[in-house]
Amino acid sequence: MKKKTRLIHGGVGRDPYTGAVSIPIYQASTFKQDGVGNFKYEYARTGNPTREALEKLIADIEGGSRGFAFGSGMAAITAVVQLFSAGDHLILTDDVYGGTFRVMTKVFNRFGVDVSFVDTTDLDKVERAILPNTKAIYIETPTNPLLKITDIQAVSKITKEQDLLLIVDNTFSTPYWQTPISLGADIVLHSATKYLGGHSDVVAGLVVAANDKLGGELHFIQNSTGGVLGPQDSWLLMRGIKTLGVRMEEIEANTRVIASFLAEHPSVEKVYYPGFEEHPGHTIHKNQAGGFGGMISFTVESEEKALDLLKKVQYFTLAESLGAVESLISIPALMTHASIPRERRLELGIEDGLVRISVGLEDVEDLLEDLGKALEQHTPNILKKPAHI
Ligand SMILES: *Cc1c(COP(=O)(O)O)cnc(C)c1O
């Protein structure tokens, strides 16, 4: 089965009880037992047919053994980290999602889970960071906002040799473009709030285990700690996933055009887009993923200029998040990465004038015109002051 077909016919396909082509929302918390212990579903934290259909679908499209749906991406990440114990050490990509950094350094540190943040694009640095108590390597590729690329297969070689788990946050690429389990990952996770949902209307997280053993452990944690996704949101996600292929293809085409436009624009200094041959991770990404995705970051001269751009755009909505039908725009230094001290931010390459866009499904000509107008030389306001001042 090809990818676009699997997005529609994968998992359980249609409702096994009624034949409904759209899996119904089983808005039920408990289920009648035919006798004590004789049941298909027991209690909806443990299992609900709508959620289970979504979990089977994501396991199928990621090529894993078992899937799990959570109330947010952070709840999914939390459940995965709960596989570990006090005294364990994890290695994480140094520019992981801000919420992942926060939960590791402000919550799980209190439970004795140690972490090192490492530039995982550099395999020597990854190997040197491994300690006797290291249990896993957790990567994001491409990263946010600079779209750095880590070689999944090369890291999986290290994790297999050293008997560690490889965990991949696949939010940016989605399983339509990249399936980390096929490259050696043990666990894949998502903020399904982004491309999988795709319509800015649901917050959700998904986890896929590559094998039954990890699947069993994750189900135990999901059922014990209870951060499950409700049936209505599970249904919304399945609905979103059906169009993931067409959305990702269209976003890919729009993004290429916009990245080239930005690269040639005189007001734009640098453009970060893995689809460019000059991007340091271009070849690795090309070998491990089918598309470059819908994220572009670029720098303009100053924070003032970036703020001016945000004010002028009409179709790029100023908002956090990404991966939806509408194009979004943000300034990482003032928004998602504001909590990082400026000096550290600059070290990471997150300049004051860095702008991040998530390309949506609008007509690309409108998007180009919008950006073009907004990037026109900023004329000082003095000229527009009323005469009496
Ligand atoms: C948004 C995001 C998360 C967190 O997901 P939520 O659904 O917001 O809890 C984790 N990882 C990445 C890469 C994200 O973009």
Q: What is the 3-state secondary structure (H, E, C) of 233-298?
A: HHHHHHHHHHCHHHHHHHHHHHHHHHHHHHHHCCCEEEEECCCCCCCCCHHHHHHHCCCCCCEEEE
Element containing residue 191 per DSSP (H, E)? strand 187-191
Instruction: Give per-residue pLDDT as tens, 270-308.
Output: 999 999 999 999 999 999 999 999 999 999 999 999 999
Whether residues 206 and 323 share a domain: the answer is: no
Domain boundary pick from 176, 208, 242:
242
169 Cβ inside 6 Å of ligand 1: yes
Expressed in angstroms and rounded, the spacing between residue 204 Cα and the centre of ligand 1 is: 9
**pTM for this structure?**
0.95
Given this model, what pLDDT does residue 119 score?
Answer: 96
95 Cβ inside 6 Å of ligand 1: no
- Check which CATH number belongs to the domain holding 329 and give it: 3.90.1150.10
Whether residues 224 and 165 share a domain: the answer is: yes
Instruction: Give per-residue pLDDT as tens, 54-91.
Output: 999 999 999 999 999 999 999 999 999 999 999 999 99
Nearest residue CA, atom 1 of ligand 1? Answer: 191
In sequence order, what are the residues at sequence separation of 6 or more whose Cβ sits closer than 8 angstroms to the Cβ of residue 345? 333, 337, 351
Instruction: Give per-residue pLDDT as tens, 351-366.
Output: 999 999 999 999 999 9
Instruction: Look at residue 103 and give its three-state secondary structure.
Output: helix
Tell me the pLDDT of the chain averaged across its residues: 95
Domain boundary pick from 242, 265, 286:
242
Q: From residue 286, give the alpha-carbon distance in Å to each of 251, 275, 292.
A: 17, 8, 8
How many domains does one find in the chain?
2
Which of 193, 202, 320 to mutate to test ligand 1, by most ligand atoms within 8 A of the CB atom?
Answer: 193
Whether residues 148 and 231 share a domain: the answer is: yes
Are 154 and 105 in contact, with CB atoms under 8 Å apart?
no
193 Cβ inside 6 Å of ligand 1: yes
Expressed in angstroms and rounded, the spacing between residue 27 Cα and the centre of ligand 1 is: 26
Whether residues 270 and 205 share a domain: the answer is: no
388 within some domain: no
Expressed in angstroms and rounded, the spacing between residue 380 Cα and the centre of ligand 1 is: 38
Whether residues 274 and 191 share a domain: the answer is: no
The single-letter code of the amino acid at 108 is F
- Residues annotated catalytic, as ranges: 45, 97, 169, 194
Domain boundary pick from 208, 242, 276:
242
Whether residues 73 and 91 share a domain: the answer is: yes
Expressed in angstroms and rounded, the spacing between residue 73 Cα and the centre of ligand 1 is: 5
351 within some domain: yes
Whether residues 33 and 132 share a domain: the answer is: yes
Q: Which of left, alpha, beta for 184 (phi over 0: left; psi -120 to 50: alpha)?
A: left
- Check which CATH number belongs to the domain holding 79 and give it: 3.40.640.10
DSSP H helical segments within 23-103, as ranges?
A: 49-62, 73-81, 98-102
Which of 144, 194, 199, 236 to mutate to test ligand 1, by most ligand atoms within 8 A of the CB atom?
Answer: 194
Expressed in angstroms and rounded, the spacing between residue 3 Cα and the centre of ligand 1 is: 24
Asked if the model's pLDDT at residue 381 lies above 90, the reply is no
381 within some domain: no
Q: Which atom of ligand 1 is nearest to the CA of 171?
A: 13
Residues of the domain holding 321:
245-375
72 Cβ inside 6 Å of ligand 1: yes
Q: Which atom of ligand 1 is nearest to the CA of 77?
A: 10
